[in-house]
Amino acid sequence: MECLNTGAKKFGWEKRQAKPGSTRDVQWLTGIGVAAAIRGAPITKSAARVRLNKDGIITVETDMTDLGTGTYTIIAQTAAEMMGVDLDKVVVKLGDSTFPESSGSGGQWGAAASTSGVYAACVKLRETVAKTLGFTAEEVEFEDGNVRSGNRSVPLASAAATADLVAEDTMTYGDLSSKYAQDTFGAHFVEVAVHAHTCEIRVRRMLGVCHAGRS
């Protein structure tokens, strides 16, 4: 509904003449239409392993694959946000059967499932880092390469000064997919002109409004 309402406002849907053939531009009959869009995003069990070293580098390991759909990037973004570091501080390793089992790639299920596994592993790593540095996990913030709580701030890398910190976890979904539609949504608006005599078709304007999640 948000996509439809936003698109209608931007496209000028309120000016639409609903009666067919009632709007003419000289020899062209014009009209506007809309179509809703939906793309399934199935989710499945997914696991990952994350590692922090003394240089503050976060290494992510999962057997997910990248078919050219940006898996390396989106997994790196997830780990970077969770651990409060820049993207250049994250190394992503994929496609090795010795890594924790993920969802595989294809359609639209890979990103949602694999990043959830990475998220779960990062939650565990955050808890380990907080404990190592003497913080309370529930009160700590990870930002700009530092771990903060109250007035105290410690470099993230210092947590792994003597040894790498490693965490691994799995994300499962139970009956979530049977209760909710795990989809992305959109609405497409178009203005079309059809020549009254030759029946030539011209697309004059088109607008797509999509809700695909966070960018």
Q: Out of 63-67, 90-94, 145-149, which region has the weakest mean confidence (pLDDT)? A: 63-67
pLDDT at 53: 98
Distance between CA atoms of residues 40 and 182, nearest Å: 6
Report which DSSP code applies to 98.
T
pLDDT at 152: 94
State the virtual CA torsion across 108, 109, 115, 117 in degrees, nearest 10: 180
Domains of the chain: 2-39+183-211 (no CATH), 46-179 (3.30.365.10)
pLDDT surpassing 60 at residue 215: no
Report which DSSP code applies to 100.
P
Q: What would the two tokens of residue 170 be?
A: 């799995």
Instruction: Provide the pLDDT confidence category of residue 214 given band limits of 50, 70 and 90.
Output: low
Instruction: Provide the pLDDT confidence category of residue 166 given band limits of 50, 70 and 90.
Output: very high
Strand order in the sheet with 46-52: 90-94, 58-62, 46-52, 165-171
155 vs 70, more confident: 155
Interval 46-68 mean pLDDT: 95
Q: What is the pTM (predicted TM-score) of this model?
A: 0.77
pLDDT at 70: 87
pLDDT surpassing 80 at residue 186: yes
- Angstrom CA distances, 193 to 19, 34, 82, 203, stand at 15, 15, 50, 6
Q: Out of 84-88, 122-126, 177-181, 192-196, which region has the weakest mean confidence (pLDDT)? A: 177-181
Interval 55-82 mean pLDDT: 93
Contact 13, 172 (CB under 8 A): no
Distance between CA atoms of residues 181 and 199, nearest Å: 40
Alpha helices (runs of H) in 20-163, residue ranges in sequence order: 71-83, 110-132
